[in-house]
Chains A and B, each alone.
Chain A
Amino acid sequence: MLRIGQDLLDAVVAHARADHPDEACGVIAGAEGSDEPSRFVPMINAARSPTFYEFDSRDLLALYRDMDARGEEPIVIYHSHTATQAYPSRTDVAYASEPQAHYLLVSTRESGREPGPAEIRSYRIVEGAVVEEEVQIVATPGR
């Protein structure tokens, strides 16, 4: 199960809408071993594509160094699908390389850049096996 704050989820959806029709991507980092996503880090999709995403290689190094320095790991790795459902594609499964992370997918196919329904689902992807998990949304204090 993924427990995630409403504010973080809102930030992911906003990023997905802003980059639609290209795929948006990023991570939500958190303290190593905590399983608690806390720091939203939107990344640039270096592929700038509606069907593919990839973190820029220099950005990737900077991100991991930053997380290392903070004692963090990627708790959530998110990306959007802009024309298909929020289910991992074959390439998503082939390249998934963080077995401890929650892979969060958002589909903007229904409402695109506009406010409206956005399908949000979460998965574990380990050694080629996809397991969907429940997303439990935690209200953000003070909002």
Chain B
Amino acid sequence: MSVEVRIPTILRPYTDGAKIVEAQGDSLAAVITDLDTRYTGIGERLVEEGSLRRFINVYLNDEDVRFLGGIDTPVADGDSVTILPAVAGG
């Protein structure tokens, strides 16, 4: 399974500035693991104790994965994954 992953500005230092990268995997968790093998450290910016970090939003195509299966959401060939940090504060 090959998916396209859109990388937000703050994580582009990990991807040598690339906005869009390819990754392999049949679930979001597998895609993140694959990303981390090539872009070391990006995984821990996204995941904490096996779940997505609270203030990182990940979308599969048009849907926030929190409304799907979270980090276990299945992905299919040709899907698009978008990562966006929450815009939030106090």
Residues of A within 8 A of B (CB): 25, 27, 43, 47, 51-55, 57-58, 60-61, 64, 73, 77, 79, 88-92, 94-100
Residues of B within 8 A of A57 (CB): 57, 59, 64, 66, 86
Choose among A27, A89, A99 the residue that contacts B9 (Cβ–Cβ < 8 A).
Answer: A99
Do A97 and B57 touch (CB < 8 A)? no
> How many residues in B have their beta carbons less than 8 Å from beta carbons of A?
17
Measured in the bound complex, the distance between the Cα atoms of B9 and A77 in whole Å is 14
Measured in the bound complex, the distance between the Cα atoms of B12 and A99 in whole Å is 11
Do B64 and A77 touch (CB < 8 A)? no
Ordered by A's residue number, 24 sampled pairs between the chains whose C-beta atoms are within 8 Å are A25-B87, A51-B90, A52-B88, A52-B90, A53-B89, A53-B90, A54-B86, A57-B64, A57-B66, A57-B86, A60-B84, A60-B86, A61-B59, A61-B62, A61-B82, A61-B84, A79-B89, A89-B89, A91-B90, A92-B90, A95-B55, A95-B88, A97-B55, A97-B87
Residues of A within 8 A of B62 (CB): 61
Residues of B within 8 A of A (CB): 8-10, 55, 57, 59, 62, 64, 66, 82, 84-90
Closest chain-A Cβ to B3's Cβ sits at a distance in Å of 16
Do B8 and A95 touch (CB < 8 A)? no
With CB as the reference atom, state the residue of chain B lying closest to A100.
B9
Given contacts A51-B90, A52-B90, A61-B57, contact A95 B9 (CB under 8 A): no
Measured in the bound complex, the distance between the Cα atoms of B59 and A1 in whole Å is 34
